[in-house]
Chains A and B, each alone.
Chain A
Amino acid sequence: MEPSPLALEQSFSGASEDFPALLRRKGLLSPAATVDPTGRAPSSREQSWKPTEATTILAFKFSGGVLVAGDRRAISGNTVVYDRADKVLEIDRHSIMAIAGVPATAWEMARVLEHSFQYFRRTQLQEMSVDGKVRALSKLLRDNFGFVMQGVGMVVPIFATYDFNSNPGPRLYFYDAMGAQFEVADYAATGSGSPAVRSILYYENNWGTKRLQKLGEDEAVTIALRALDTAAESDTATGGVDRSGKIYPLIKVVSREGITTLPERKIAAVFKQTVA
């Protein structure tokens, strides 16, 4: 282990230093990428090396909290790299970060974020507020923007959590690659298959049998599966549901009680009944 903790330096005060800053001071996290004002992103034709990318994710509020779903495909250019990618990541007991974009960067961000929340709670003896958590992810995205400009490392996440404060309830946010956060009332989708997914969620929310927020769990799973399957229909980067390989999207639910990962057999049963 690191022999000289910063906390034991004479000048140390217990005031909270954020975890990424601590890692950077110890040289354990690369410095924020700088944006080269004269540079421009290489076009995809110039760029011979193509980063691995994760594709479509979606999330919406339903009667049991927030449902977050992601297909399982990771691609590089037009090659399928992996068909069992996990894009819906648990950050703490009540928070999920779902990712579209470069997994190398996104998984590192998830790790930093997870440790940031724990580190804050352990050192400051209180849970980080939802606003604080949302902001922490925003800052990581901002720090990464230099890489985005260089044509590598673009990440566009969705963040879902449960707020226990003044107005308790599930919260849902999506981000852009620069780190702007947008809170949404009903649903969010990012990644290459998101136009189709957004259309479906918009349609269902307005003219479906019920508003999304009123759906029961099985109905919500049905919508999520149909949306991802529709996205996969026209977007080759989205895996949707692999019928022959029996690979289903990953679906997690955030509620007051915490995070539940829906078992694959349950998703398979809903799929068989209402989607296939």
Chain B
Amino acid sequence: MIEEPYRWVEAIANRREYIETQLASGSPIAAVGYGDGILFLTLGRARQKIFEVYDRIAMGAIGHPGDIERLRMAAIELASTEGFTRSAGDVSLRRLAHYSLSPVMKNAFEQVYGAPFLARMLFAEVGAKPEEDLFLRVEYDGAIATNGATFAQARQDFAVLSGTGKSTELMESFLKTEHAPGAPFEAALKVALDAWSIGHMTLQKNDAKELPERAAVTKHREEQLAVAGIEAAILERDANTAIRYRALSDEEVRASIQQ
């Protein structure tokens, strides 16, 4: 049936709708750059969602655990073999996402007889300076969104990942106004928590159009913090070791929130 172009387009559209439905309940992940690095944060620890990929690269993902696992393994494998055969400095997130992951994901998505990847991923690579931090979101169809400046948008030092487009959009618009580049860690942590709360609230209401009230965000944040575990990791900018990734424990993050 898919020999006919119209049927193919229809099949792709159905598949897109199916995947979007599957991803819609994924808890948001916020990644924000701060003076000394990049923070990844999410709440709810049903399973791990933030991972180390290579010395300066981390990823967060929502979707089917099996698919996330295969993509994560592929990313680690590519980065590790590159880092081994050349050097750690030659491993770049830009190449990893554009040349390796994106084509594979697009291919799987468009081969309508095969299974697509049920996953949406958020990557970040810490640079020597905050201006060199790179954020990338890779969609199930291989589409890539970056934090780079385009004619429609100034360069951002954050990126988010969520179950729905609306949730992603509201989180981004919140961070655009509230997140100051080069902020200290505690400020970045607060803004990331609020961004997560906004994303999470939006997922629960189907008709959300605008950013919720400040007080409602604070209330939601406190409620969720009381019941859910925090998962967070940082990529440190000036670490003395090659490996910049460090997972933060729940207690560590809560202690920083108190300050």
Seen from chain A, the residues whose Cβ lies within 8 Å of a Cβ on chain B are 1-3, 5-8, 12, 14, 19, 22-23, 26, 28, 93, 111-112, 115, 118-119, 121-123, 125
Task: Choose the segment among B36-44, B73-81, B133-141, B191-199 that binds chain A (4+ C-beta atoms closer than 8 Å).
Answer: B73-81
A-chain residues with CB within 8 Å of residue B76 when the two chains form the complex: 7, 119, 122-123
Is B180's beta carbon under 8 Å from chain A?
no
Taking a contact as CB atoms under 8 Å apart, the answer to whether B84 and A115 are in contact is yes
A156–B52 Cα distance when bound, in Å, is: 33
A2–B73 Cα distance when bound, in Å, is: 14
Flag B102-120 by CB within 8 Å of A: 1 or 0 each.
Answer: 0110000000000000000
Taking a contact as CB atoms under 8 Å apart, the answer to whether A14 and B100 are in contact is no
Taking a contact as CB atoms under 8 Å apart, the answer to whether B74 and A118 are in contact is no
Flag B56-77 by CB within 8 Å of A: 1 or 0 each.
Answer: 0000000000000111111111
Taking a contact as CB atoms under 8 Å apart, the answer to whether B70 and A12 are in contact is yes
Is B259's beta carbon under 8 Å from chain A?
no
Tell me which residues from 224 to 246 in chain B have a Cβ below 8 Å from any Cβ of chain A.
241, 243
Give the size range of B's interface with the partner: 20 to 34
Main secondary structure of the interface of A (DSSP, over half): helix
Nearest Cβ distance between residue B139 and chain A, in whole angstroms? Answer: 17
Taking a contact as CB atoms under 8 Å apart, the answer to whether A12 and B73 are in contact is yes
Nearest Cβ distance between residue B244 and chain A, in whole angstroms? Answer: 12
14 other A-B residue contacts (CB within 8 Å) besides A3-B99, A118-B80, A122-B52: A1-B78, A1-B95, A1-B96, A1-B99, A2-B78, A2-B81, A3-B103, A5-B74, A5-B75, A7-B71, A7-B73, A7-B74, A19-B84, A22-B77
Partner of B81, one of A22, A111, A125: A22
10 smallest A-B Cβ distances: which pairs?
A: A7-B73, A5-B74, A7-B74, A115-B84, A5-B77, A122-B76, A119-B80, A8-B74, A14-B69, A7-B77
* Nearest-CB residue, chain B, relative to A92: B243
Nearest Cβ distance between residue A127 and chain B, in whole angstroms? Answer: 12
Taking a contact as CB atoms under 8 Å apart, the answer to whether A115 and B73 are in contact is no
Partner of A28, one of B74, B84, B99: B84
Taking a contact as CB atoms under 8 Å apart, the answer to whether B81 and A23 are in contact is yes
Taking a contact as CB atoms under 8 Å apart, the answer to whether B53 and A23 are in contact is no
Taking a contact as CB atoms under 8 Å apart, the answer to whether A112 and B77 are in contact is no
A49–B83 Cα distance when bound, in Å, is: 32
* Nearest-CB residue, chain A, relative to B247: A125
B-chain residues with CB within 8 Å of residue A93 when the two chains form the complex: 241, 243
A23–B81 Cα distance when bound, in Å, is: 7
Nearest Cβ distance between residue B70 and chain A, in whole angstroms? Answer: 6
Nearest Cβ distance between residue B107 and chain A, in whole angstroms? Answer: 10
